[in-house]
């Protein structure tokens, strides 16, 4: 009570003025009316960056890593939805990534089952009929499986099975092998394409089964 | 995870893996643990995209999965490790270290494994051999055995480790199509695997293949396909290797201590400390407060031969190191000529303190730094005492103290004399706490790097048109040169970029280099502060 009557009527602060070191007469700093500036002027300039061979090398490494990581299959781009009319050339221009395929093949045994997605096989552009003829005997010279496959393909041509079943079979056969052999895949697709004009115009069946997202019990291979 | 950390992680993920992974990653960081369904639902992305993103994150070791809250029968839950994403900032430093220790081969091995997350030994060896062959002059090629030996060396010194095996509960077979829910696989800690650092035996012989130009592409493709058919089985299927970041961090920590000693004392003392650290590399656990005790006799024997210091001089150096106020080296006994240890945690604390002082000095001036150092040493001081001890006039000292206070580098502690806390009868003491200040600075560093990255993206976006044009012209030039065009044509193409555009490109490149270099250097500070903070947590 006694203490309070000292400053009665005059300006009094909650803090002791003496301890702070400025007298009554000094004005308090002005209150701010605007937010502080975005880039306030600095009192001291920053120290220049260190230079040297090591620094330059690490800089080059960093930029290289950044550039190369854009080309790796880990850089995931969302597939663009086709707003245009579906064109025939789409079948031959499958450079675009699709949502339902993964561009690299991880070790699925180390990942939970629910993450399993079909691995996309790189589709090579058609080179021409000549390499195909050279390629066929070369590949067939190797394995019995390939011979079997060629026989089944021939049979299929003759029997005119529906395309979707063929796709399923081929994909299963591909998956049964230990590593997807790009050779054979290329062959099959080529052979299939050669007979395309005889078959009716169809969807190539890659989207079969990929749209059924809700059914989680089946692992999509 | 603090806001700044989440923001920085988002920027890093976007830079390396694209927008989709960034969305999935930041959402998972914010929410902690989520199932696949919940993640897909909340991010509103297609389920397949979410699956792909999770595969990418797991390939790089940033995401782990485990049995969810409902136990093994329930859906799998995923969590992300934020610090593993932040390690991406340090990739150039890891690669450079590997280069300095194991040459170009080691550098390329570490680079490949860092970019791909995890790789088998055989695929690493083949890729690295091919890359090295590509850079060698015509006719030479890199033998696989050299790459294998470099790989083994990296594993022996624990820079590379096997990825932890995924222990599945129950027999989960992909062939079995039955009704019980799929067994949940649980990854374990890498160090718990006994074979963590064992190099598998692989029968891989051959040499790196040179990548030829497209004319020979077909012949080479056929040869490559044949080779692939032959060398499919190398004996190490399923054994994946990853980079052991902890080991690299220990190496960086040792380097920091040695360079600090060399700067403060002299080169010879630095060598002595380097010898001590090298000798105790294998025997000291990762989070130890100090190394194993080493006797002076052992240190003398282990010194490198080109340092001809006599035994009494070594003793003098050791005494000097022990007496130094930085307390890098301590004496723990007298047997064997004196038992000495390197105080790792104290060294880290001193390095962090030096960093804090340097930051205050560069931002607020040397007198503010004097006040800061004073408060660090004397713990609690009143304002009057600060002015007296620092020998700074009252008004300026007050100003500086209040600036530091507003930046949260200095804290105010009230000690009331009376129970009613009357201001005139309360002590107001200024104090600095090293650990919270270090954490504050660490967050500032994260924010800094986030700002640097955003500024770089902004600069790139602003000049996108110009950059694309210059890239196109470079491509045209390269193809012209490959087909052997005349110089007149080349100059004509080069002139397509005008001089002011060239200047603009030059300044853009300069800016981007500066921003990138700054990121690397801020990351060094981050490493120091993080090591210090982790060391304090470990000792608790």
Determine the pLDDT at residue B85. 93
Phi, psi of A215 (to 5 degrees): -85, 95
Report yes or no: B342 and B276 within 8 Å, Cβ to Cβ: yes
Determine the pLDDT at residue A13. 56
Question: Do B423 and A112 make contact, defined as CB atoms within 8 angstroms?
Answer: no
- Our CA-based measurement puts residue A24 at a distance from the nearest CA of chain B, in whole angstroms, of 15
Tokens describing residue B171: 């027999």
Question: Do B17 and A106 make contact, defined as CB atoms within 8 angstroms?
Answer: no
pLDDT at B6 over 90: yes
Question: Do A75 and B16 make contact, defined as CB atoms within 8 angstroms?
Answer: yes
The predicted model gives B438-464 an average pLDDT of 95
CA–CA dist B343, B147 (Å, integer): 37
Q: Which of A21, A44, A107 faces B365 most closely, judged by CB atoms?
A: A44
Phi, psi of B331 (to 5 degrees): -105, 130
Question: Do A15 and B46 make contact, defined as CB atoms within 8 angstroms?
Answer: no
User: Looking at beta carbons, which residues of chain A come within 8 Å of B222?
Assistant: 135, 138
CA B167 to chain centre: 28
B379: alpha, beta or left? (left if phi > 0; alpha if psi -120 to 50) = left
Per the model's pLDDT, the better-predicted residue between B472 and B200 turns out to be B472
Question: Average pLDDT of chain B?
Answer: 85
The stretches of A24-83 forming alpha helices (DSSP H) are: 53-69
Tokens describing residue B140: 């030479």
The predicted model gives B7-33 an average pLDDT of 93
User: Looking at beta carbons, which residues of chain A come within 8 Å of B116?
Assistant: 72, 74
User: Looking at beta carbons, which residues of chain B come within 8 Å of A135?
Assistant: 222
- Our CA-based measurement puts residue A151 at a distance from the nearest CA of chain B, in whole angstroms, of 22
The predicted model gives B199-207 an average pLDDT of 69
Question: Do A69 and B16 make contact, defined as CB atoms within 8 angstroms?
Answer: yes
Kindly report, residue by residue over A85-121, the tens digit of the pLDDT.
777 776 776 666 677 777 788 888 888 888 887 777 6
Which range has the worst mean pLDDT, A145-149, B85-89, B202-206, B516-520? B202-206
DSSP string, B73-127: EEEEEEEE-HHHHHGGGGHHHHHHHHHHHHHHHHHHHHHHHHHHS-EEHHHHHHH
CA–CA dist A175, B428 (Å, integer): 75
The helix/strand/coil state of B38 is helix
The predicted model gives B451-456 an average pLDDT of 96
Question: Do A21 and B394 make contact, defined as CB atoms within 8 angstroms?
Answer: yes
Determine the pLDDT at residue A153. 79
DSSP B307: -
Q: Which of B17, B47, B520 faces A76 most closely, judged by CB atoms?
A: B17
CA–CA dist B332, B339 (Å, integer): 5
Check if the interface score ipTM surpasses 0.90: no
DSSP A88: G
Which range has the worst mean pLDDT, B101-115, B468-482, B513-527? B468-482
pLDDT confidence tier of residue A216, bands split at 50, 70 and 90: low
Question: Do A62 and B520 make contact, defined as CB atoms within 8 angstroms?
Answer: yes
Other C-beta atoms closer than 10 Å to the C-beta of B27 total 18
Q: What is the largest CA-CA distance in chain B?
A: 93
CA–CA dist A126, A121 (Å, integer): 15
CB-based contact, B356 to chain A, within 8 Å: no
Tokens describing residue B86: 């932040």
User: Looking at beta carbons, which residues of chain B come within 8 Å of A18?
Assistant: 424
The residues that bridge with B382 in the sheet, in sequence order, are B429
Kindly report, residue by residue over B323-340, the tens digit of the pLDDT.
998 889 999 988 888 899
pLDDT confidence tier of residue B184, bands split at 50, 70 and 90: very low
Q: Which of A58, A178, A181 faces B93 most closely, judged by CB atoms?
A: A58
Between the ranges A18-32, B207-221, B382-396, B489-503, where is the mean pLDDT highest? B382-396
Range 41-60 of B in CB contact (< 8 A) with A:
46-49, 51-56, 58-60
Determine the pLDDT at residue B210. 66
Report yes or no: B81 and B46 within 8 Å, Cβ to Cβ: no
The helix/strand/coil state of B270 is helix
Between the ranges A84-98, A99-113, B171-185, B393-407, where is the mean pLDDT highest? B393-407
Give me the long-range contacts of B521-526 (CB less than 8 A, separation at least 24): B521/A49, B521/A50, B521/A55, B522/B445, B522/B448, B522/B449, B522/B452, B523/B89, B523/B90, B523/B93, B523/B449, B524/B93, B525/B355, B525/B441, B525/B445, B526/B86, B526/B89, B526/B442, B526/B445, B526/B446, B526/B449
Q: How many helices (H) and strands (E) in chain B?
A: 21, 14
Pairing of strands B166-168, B329-333: unpaired
User: Looking at beta carbons, which residues of chain B come within 8 Å of A99?
Assistant: 46, 48-49, 52
Best residue in B13, B52, B103, B217 for a mutation probing chain A (most A CBs within 10 Å): B52
Chains A and B form CB pairs within 8 A to the count of 153
Determine the pLDDT at residue A20. 56
Kindly report, residue by residue over A153-198, the tens digit of the pLDDT.
777 777 655 555 545 545 555 444 434 444 444 444 444 455 556 5
User: Looking at beta carbons, which residues of chain B come within 8 Å of A105?
Assistant: none
Other C-beta atoms closer than 10 Å to the C-beta of B87 total 22
pTM: 0.77
């Amino acid at each position: 009570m006694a203490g309070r009557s000292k400053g009665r009527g005059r300006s009094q602060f909650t803090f002791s003025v003496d301890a702070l070191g400025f007298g009554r007469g000094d004005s308090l700093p002005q209150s701010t009316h605007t937010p502080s500036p975005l880039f306030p002027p600095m009192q001291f300039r920053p120290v220049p960056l260190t230079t040297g061979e090591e620094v330059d090398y690490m800089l080059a490494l960093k930029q290289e890593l950044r550039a190369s990581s854009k080309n790796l299959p880990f850089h995931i781009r969302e597939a663009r939805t086709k707003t245009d009319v579906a064109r025939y050339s789409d079948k031959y221009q499958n450079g675009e990534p699709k949502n339902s395929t993964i561009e690299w093949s991880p070790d699925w045994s180390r990942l939970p089952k629910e993450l399993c997605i079909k691995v996309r096989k790189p589709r090579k552009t058609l080179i021409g009929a000549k390499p195909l003829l050279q390629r066929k005997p070369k590949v067939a010279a190797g394995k019995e499986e390939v011979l079997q496959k060629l026989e089944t393909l021939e049979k299929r041509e003759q029997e005119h099975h529906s395309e979707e079943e063929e796709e399923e079979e081929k994909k299963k056969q591909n998956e049964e092998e230990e590593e997807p052999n790009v050779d054979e895949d290329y062959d099959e697709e080529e052979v299939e394409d050669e007979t395309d004009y005889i078959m009716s115009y169809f969807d190539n069946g890659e989207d079969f089964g990929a749209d059924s997202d809700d059914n989680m019990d089946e692992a999509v291979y | 995870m603090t806001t700044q950390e989440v923001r920085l992680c988002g920027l890093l993920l976007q830079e390396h893996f694209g927008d989709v992974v960034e969305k999935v990653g930041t959402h998972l960081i914010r929410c902690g643990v989520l199932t696949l369904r919940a993640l897909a639902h909340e991010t509103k992305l297609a389920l397949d995209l979410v699956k792909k993103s999770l595969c990418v994150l797991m390939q790089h070791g940033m995401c782990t999965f485990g049995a969810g809250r409902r136990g093994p029968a329930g859906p799998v839950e995923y969590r992300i490790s934020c610090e593993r994403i932040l390690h991406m900032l340090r990739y150039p430093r890891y690669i450079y270290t590997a280069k300095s220790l194991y040459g170009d081969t080691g550098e390329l091995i570490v680079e490949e494994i860092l970019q791909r997350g995890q790789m088998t030994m055989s695929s690493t060896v083949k890729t690295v051999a091919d890359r090295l062959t590509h850079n060698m002059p015509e006719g030479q090629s890199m033998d696989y055995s050299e790459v294998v030996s470099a790989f083994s060396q990296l594993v022996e010194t624990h820079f590379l480790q096997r990825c932890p095996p995924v222990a599945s509960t129950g027999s989960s077979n992909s062939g079995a199509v039955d009704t019980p829910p799929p067994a949940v696989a649980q990854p374990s800690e890498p160090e718990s695997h006994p074979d963590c650092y064992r190099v598998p035996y692989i029968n891989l012989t051959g040499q790196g293949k040179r990548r030829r130009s497209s004319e020979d592409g077909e012949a080479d493709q056929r040869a490559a396909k044949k080779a692939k058919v032959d060398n499919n089985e190398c004996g190490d299927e399923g054994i994946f290797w990853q980079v052991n970041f902890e080991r690299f961090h220990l190496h960086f920590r040792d380097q920091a201590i040695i360079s600090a000693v060399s700067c403060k004392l002299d080169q010879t003392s630095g060598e002595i400390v380097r010898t001590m650290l090298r000798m105790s590399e294998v025997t000291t656990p990762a989070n130890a407060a100090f190394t194993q005790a080493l006797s002076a006799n052992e240190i003398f024997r282990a010194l490198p031969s080109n340092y001809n210091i006599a035994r009494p001089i070594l003793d003098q150096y050791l005494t000097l190191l022990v007496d130094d106020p930085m307390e890098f080296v301590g004496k723990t006994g007298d047997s064997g000529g004196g038992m000495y240890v390197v105080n790792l945690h104290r060294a880290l604390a001193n390095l962090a303190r030096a960093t804090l002082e340097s930051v205050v000095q560069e931002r607020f001036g040397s007198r503010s730094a004097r006040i800061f150092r004073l408060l660090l040493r004397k713990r609690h001081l009143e304002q009057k005492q600060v002015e007296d001890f620092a020998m700074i006039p009252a008004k300026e000292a007050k100003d500086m103290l209040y600036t530091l206070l507003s930046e949260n580098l200095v804290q105010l502690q009230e000690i009331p004399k009376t129970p009613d806390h009357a201001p005139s009868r309360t002590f107001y003491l200024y104090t600095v706490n090293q650990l919270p200040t270090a954490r504050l600075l660490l967050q500032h560093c994260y924010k800094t790097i986030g700002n640097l990255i955003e500024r770089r993206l902004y600069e790139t976006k602003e000049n996108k048109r110009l950059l694309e044009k210059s890239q196109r012209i470079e491509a045209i030039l390269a193809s012209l040169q490959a087909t052997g065009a005349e110089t007149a044509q080349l100059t004509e193409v080069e002139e397509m970029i005008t001089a002011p555009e060239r200047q603009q490109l030059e300044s853009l490149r300069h800016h981007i280099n500066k921003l990138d270099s700054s990121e690397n250097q801020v990351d060094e500070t981050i490493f120091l502060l993080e090591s210090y903070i982790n060391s304090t947590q470990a000792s608790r």
